[in-house]
Each structure stands twice: as structure tokens, then as C-alpha cells.
Structure 1
Amino acid sequence: MDGQITYEAIKNGDIKAFEALFREFYPSMCFVAMRFIGNQEAAEDIVQEAFIKLWEKRTTYNDIPCLKTFLYVSVKNLCFNHIRNKKNTIDYTSPEAQNKEVIFKNHLIEEETYRIIDDAVNALPPQSKKIIKMHLEGKQNKEIAETLNISVNSVKTLKYNALSTLKHSLKDYFYLLILFLAEK
């Protein structure tokens, strides 16, 4: 529905469009906030604040092409602010606080890893990129060949060449790609 609810409608004060946006994305944004901060009540407050800021500042932005992305970034930034502000009051020597910090760092590392691998895969030639993405989705060579209307040998060759390219472009991160492929 993000494509149907336009920023233009919200910018012009269409409360029904804003309510529809809220209903559609509030639950998923709460889930995102919850992953960052681990407190349901605070996560809900943060998401509500992101929506309120969007509504209050709707006339100050020129254009927001993707409302979902805008809300995700807003929620993420508000989560960081929340964590930074709580840093002064949390006992970071407690095992619980240290565990949350480790979980949060692991989440950020995971997101960055996906971004690095995705960027490297997207830099491949179009056919190789399709093959690697289909392979990462768990598809077998025969299924890939049928979908792309090429031979299984072509799939194998292109996949081999793509993995060689990825090994070179990812350098120290290549082992992470191997882990992702092993999960499939």
C-alpha cells in the first residue's frame, strides 16, 4: 500500500491517508524498534513519535519517495537516541545490560553484512546476479536453468565465475557469503 499512500496526500493534510499509513506500518515499525531496544512500551512510544514527527513536519519536506523507508530510518534514529539517552542511567556493568549491548551490536553487524554482500552481488553482471540471487534463495541449478531458459552447464559456469568475482570483491568478507550459501 506504500505505493498507494503518497507523501503528496499526507503533505496536503489528508488525515485518512495518514491513518491508513499508520495502520499499515505501525506494527512492523514496532517490531523493528523492539529489535533495537528490547522494550515493548518504549518501542511503541518511539514509533508513535516517528509518525507524529512525520505529520507535524509534513510541509517541511520537499518529497519522500518511499514512506516505508522514511519511517524505518526515523524509527532507527529515534531508537539510537533512546539508547544514547538511557546510556547515562543504565549500569553497563550489569550482565543484562552487557548482553543487550552484544545483541544490539550483533544485529548491526548482521545488517551491515547483508548490505555488503547485497552490494557485491548487485555489482555482478545481470545474468550472474540473477543466478546468485536465485541460488541464495535456495534454488537448484536445474531450476535456475529452467527459469532463465539456459543450460545447466551455463548456470554452473556463470555461478562459478560469479563466486570467483565475489571472492575477489568481498576479500575478507567472502567467508560470510559461504556461510549464507551453506544455510541454503
Structure 2
Amino acid sequence: MTAPLPYDDETLMHLFREGEGEAFTQVYQHFNKRVFFFVRQYLSSITEAQDITSECFFKLWEKKSEFPSLDAVGAFLHVAARNQCFNYLRHKQMAKEKEPELLGLLNTSEDSPFSLEDLRIQLLDLIAGEVDKLPAKMKEIFMLSYQEGLKPAEIAQRLGLQVQTVKNQRLNAVRLIKTALADHPLLFAVLLLLEYETAFWG
């Protein structure tokens, strides 16, 4: 789960509207993962996703005096992220057969901000605890795949291993984490979906 904010919402938003840096930091920490994971649904490039996430918070800071509540900040970031993705997909080169599908998803995205992203954050928190329990080499392979987005061949080259060894170790890590999530059926279902995303499995 996302760590609780040190200020109550009213105090936080007052300081945020006044341009207090620590308040912005707390708002950023509260929403950053949500925005990033939302953007990653539509962009294959981690770097581009990070850039768009940063741009959303830049736009937020420019309009800081206009937000009455934390919910309003979340709603603004949701719309800003969706619009930035839409513009990216319209103006950047990408596979033509995917573009209409992704643009359609953005146009029909639900109004409730970051619902799936909240589940992803919960999932990451649980995964982090389980990853620490993995054998050292398996943990290293998993983190290179998840944290850095490296593909098996890239991991194999970096670690001096066979590609198949990397694939086997990564698969074993996923299986162990699945077992650990057996008591969390909703998060387990999200994990099944995320297995196919390069953000996690390269």
C-alpha cells in the first residue's frame, strides 16, 4: 500500500497551493507510481513513460493554486496522463496495427483514476517482500528483468549465463511469487496479467 501522507489532506493542499516544496514532494510520492503504471499500459518505452510522468507533474505544479483537494489532484493527473499518452501515440512512430486499439482504450478509459494502478502498487509491495526471500542469483535475475526491463539475452550477457538459464530462473521466481500470493486472489489475478508486460518480465 502507498505510505500515508505526513500531513492531513487539508493542510497538505493548503501548503501545496502555496508552493511549499515539501508538500509537492509528498503529493509526488503519493501519485507517482499510479501515473507511471497508467502510462506504461500504453507505452512500450520505460524512458518515454518516465518522461510523460514527469511532464504530468510539471503541468500539475504549474496549476498548483487551482486544486481544492487531493482527489482533484488525482483526477487532474489521470486526465493529464491520458492526454499525454494520446498525443504520444498520435505523433510518434509505432506499430500501426496497435495504434487504433490503444487510442480506443484511452478514449474509453474509466473515470475512476488509477484503480488498476492502486492494485499494482499493492502487488509490488507484496512482491518486494517475496523477492528478498529468493536465492541470490534468482533474485538478481528477477530484479534485472523487473527493475531495469532487460530481456533474457541481455541479462545472460551481463551475468555470463546461458539465456535458457536466465529464462528458467526467472520462471522459477515467478512461480514462487505466485505461490506466495495464493491468499490474495485479486492481486494474483493482476500478477497473471502483468506476466505479459515487459515492465515486469522484459
TM bin (shorter chain): 0.3 to 0.5
- Structure ID, larger Rg: 1
Q: Which structure's relative contact order is higher, taking Cα pairs within 8 Å and 6+ residues apart?
A: 2
What is the TM-score of this pair, normalised by structure 1? 0.47
Normalized per residue, which structure has more helix?
A: 1
What is the TM-score of this pair, normalised by structure 2? 0.43
